[in-house]
Chains A and B, each alone.
Chain A
Amino acid sequence: MTAALAADVAVSNAALRRYLHGLPGVDQVGAEGRAAMLSTRSIKAASKQQAIDLAISMVDLTTLEGMDTPGKVRALCAKALRPDPTDPTTPHVAAVCVYGDMAAIARDAVGDALHVAAVATAFPSGRASLAVKLADTRDAVANGADEIDMVIDRGAFLAGRYLDVYDEIVAIKEACGTAHLKVIFETGELRTYDNVRRASYLAMLAGADFIKTSTGKVSPAATLPVTLILLEAVRDWHRQTGQRIGVKPAGGIRTSKDAIRYLVMVNEVCGEAWLTPDLFRFGASSLLNDLLLQRQRMRTGHYSGPDYVTID
């Protein structure tokens, strides 16, 4: 189904453009209103406990800094494996997310227990030749990454060169081999929800396993309405093709309250099938500790403090 669709619409830039611009438009005010309404849901008691554990299990615990070192990555991995050393019932996170050169360190630290995600394709700007991006990807995979977070060429996208963006994703997907591909749109640069919807379909058409909002390096990063557009896209794609694509909001999600709002949105837009780390992830770093604090509060019945969770 996907292959047939791709064969139809990815034959020329004009055909691809017709397809993407034929998608229903997004009314900004309406979409933001829907997201705001969903965020008024009140998640209490048992459902909150469940949501916190689910959110922890969906975190791609991330460090993407120029000053990252093997030591920092190892510490991150330890935290990812056992987020709360005081409570062994705490689930582990979904993955660690690092630069490609750190993938080997991470893989060594987590073994087969977690996924290792590496950003590639000249992250975060994506400004490099295809050859460099392919080399970047292959290097990360060779280093042990089983998930690749690529960025799209926003310049090409905004210039309307959709086929170039598509071809690049296809090429990267091929370079990934068996590694899962997450395609980052940097929605803060795409500016409009119409663009976000088109980018979503473009990426799904090109073979993305996950679609992801942002690099975390550009503001605004993930927002509820942007994630709503992504969720609607994967929901409708599934209805069209039978294929389930994952969604990953990244950047700016810091509190348990935020995370629960995202989960409510996943639940009410895509349904329970998407409430799994295989199909929904949070790209975050500080979020994990807030989830842990909340978890401790619910377990002990009193508020915890920042010194009762680890800072790695």
Chain B
Amino acid sequence: MMEGRLDVRKTYKLYIGGAFPRSESGRTYAVTDAKGRFLANASLASRKDARDAVLAARAAQRGWAGATAYNRGQVIYRIAEMLEGRRAQFEAEIESAEGCSARRASAQVDSAIDRWVWYAGWSDKIAQVLGSSNPVSGPYFNFSVPQPTGVVAAIAPQRPSLLGLVSVVAPIIVSGNSCVVVASPECPLPAITLAEVLATSDLPGGVVNILTGAPGEIGPWLASHADVDALDLTGVVDDGVATEMAVAAAETITRVLPPPSSPPDWSADPGLGRISAFVETTTVWHPQGV
């Protein structure tokens, strides 16, 4: 802090439909750093914010899925570019929020940027790797293509606050899904700063919606929402909440990616598992004749 000048603080809000609203409930909660010092008041999202976010995600999904894979890949790569440009800010936020060293914070940002790049490249390969042409016995051309599941609600892991969030969101949206993600409740600030990155890349509003608050409060509303097609429970730490959400999901046969059985190694090669968890396979039959 410079002598004689008071810095201008940022208000951390939600990210819904490309806009930054406060929680409709008017609630906030105090976010502290690793040592318990006040950092900011983050919005404490309500079930109605979750509902709005699902609406925004649904509205954006068809257009996003309808974009060419090439285009989606470029938009996601653009996110990496924007993140790179603001890396100092992320490093600082991670360092204070997670209480880690500057070097570790920097490494996390590196990985987060690289993860966007990795997934950007997948956009136009998913169908080639997960799809197929199927040799049925008959005069038909038969092919299978992966299609996005639709609207995915995700609970991001507590830590690493940025890399975890990116690792959850990127594979959801790369295939054409939209998502509503609940950020790490302890370290929500990098998530909202990421929202600023998303808002200034070419990602259409509503494709990613970020809520801050209590996963145990919002999660079950998202899980029981009939217009949510899939759940990613990666960040759910409470077994009770995970089960409650999975039970609610059963009401409309919502797909569920369960929490990992052991803490994941976020630096490892992510593989295809997260992409394939949120795609459906459509198989088309067409006769071959003259």
- In the complex they form, do A and B come into direct contact, defined as C-beta atoms under 8 angstroms apart? yes
A residues bordering B, Cβ < 8 Å?
27-30, 32, 191-192
User: Interface residues, chain B, CB within 8 Å of chain A?
Assistant: 138-140, 287-290
Q: A29 to B290, Cβ gap below 8 A?
A: no
Closest to A26 in B: B289
Contact between chains at B290 and A192 (CB < 8 Å): yes
User: Which residues of A lie under 8 Å from residue B139 when comparing CB positions?
Assistant: 28-29
Residues of chain B with a CB closer than 8 A to A30's CB: 287
Question: A28: which B residues are within 8 A, CB to CB?
Answer: 139, 287, 289-290
Residues on A with beta carbons closer than 8 Å to the beta carbon of B140:
29
Closest to A194 in B: B290
Question: What are 16 A-B residue pairs whose CB atoms fall within 8 Å in the complex?
Answer: A27-B287, A27-B289, A28-B139, A28-B287, A28-B289, A28-B290, A29-B138, A29-B139, A29-B140, A29-B287, A29-B288, A29-B289, A30-B287, A32-B289, A191-B290, A192-B290
Nearest chain A CB to B137's CB is how many angstroms away? Answer: 13
A32→B139 CA distance, assembly (Å): 11
Interface of A is mostly: helix
Q: In angstroms, how far is the closest chain B Cβ from the Cβ of A142? A: 42
Q: Nearest residue in B to A31 (C-beta to C-beta)?
A: B289
Q: Which residue of A lies closest to B288 (CB)?
A: A29
Q: List the 6 closest pairs (A to B, CB-CB), nearest first.
A: A28-B289, A29-B287, A29-B289, A29-B139, A192-B290, A28-B290
Which residues of chain A have C-beta atoms less than 8 A from B288's C-beta?
A: 29
Kindly state the separation between the CA atoms of A2 and B41 in the bound complex, as whole angstroms: 84
**Complex Cα distance A191/B290, Å?**
8
Q: For the complex formed, measure the closest distance between the CB of B141 and the CB atoms of chain A, giving whole angstroms.
A: 11
- State the Cβ distance, B29 to closest chain A Cβ, in Å: 63
Nearest chain B CB to A152's CB is how many angstroms away? 20
Q: Which of B139, B288, B290 has the most CB of A within 10 A?
A: B290
Contacts of A32 in B (CB 8 A): 289
* Complex alpha-carbon distance, A277 and B139, angstroms: 36
Chain A, Cβ-Cβ closest to B290? A192
Closest-by-CB residue of A relative to B289 is A28
B contact residues around A192 at 8 Å (CB)? 290
Once bound together, how far apart are the Cα atoms of A30 and B140, in whole Å? 11
Bound Cα distance from A29 to B139, whole angstroms? 7
Given contact pairs A27-B287, A28-B139, enumerate 14 new A-B contacts (beta carbons under 8 Å): A27-B289, A28-B287, A28-B289, A28-B290, A29-B138, A29-B139, A29-B140, A29-B287, A29-B288, A29-B289, A30-B287, A32-B289, A191-B290, A192-B290
Residues of B contacting A191 with CB < 8 Å? 290
**Chain B residues with Cβ under 8 A from A27's Cβ?**
287, 289
Cβ distance B116 to chain A, nearest Cβ, rounded Å:
46
Q: Which residue on chain A has the smallest CB distance to residue B140?
A: A29
Closest to A191 in B: B290
Q: Report the Cα distance A30→B289, complex, angstroms.
A: 9
- Distance between A34 CB and nearest chain B CB, rounded to angstroms: 12
Across the interface, which residues of A come within 8 angstroms of B287, CB to CB? 27-30
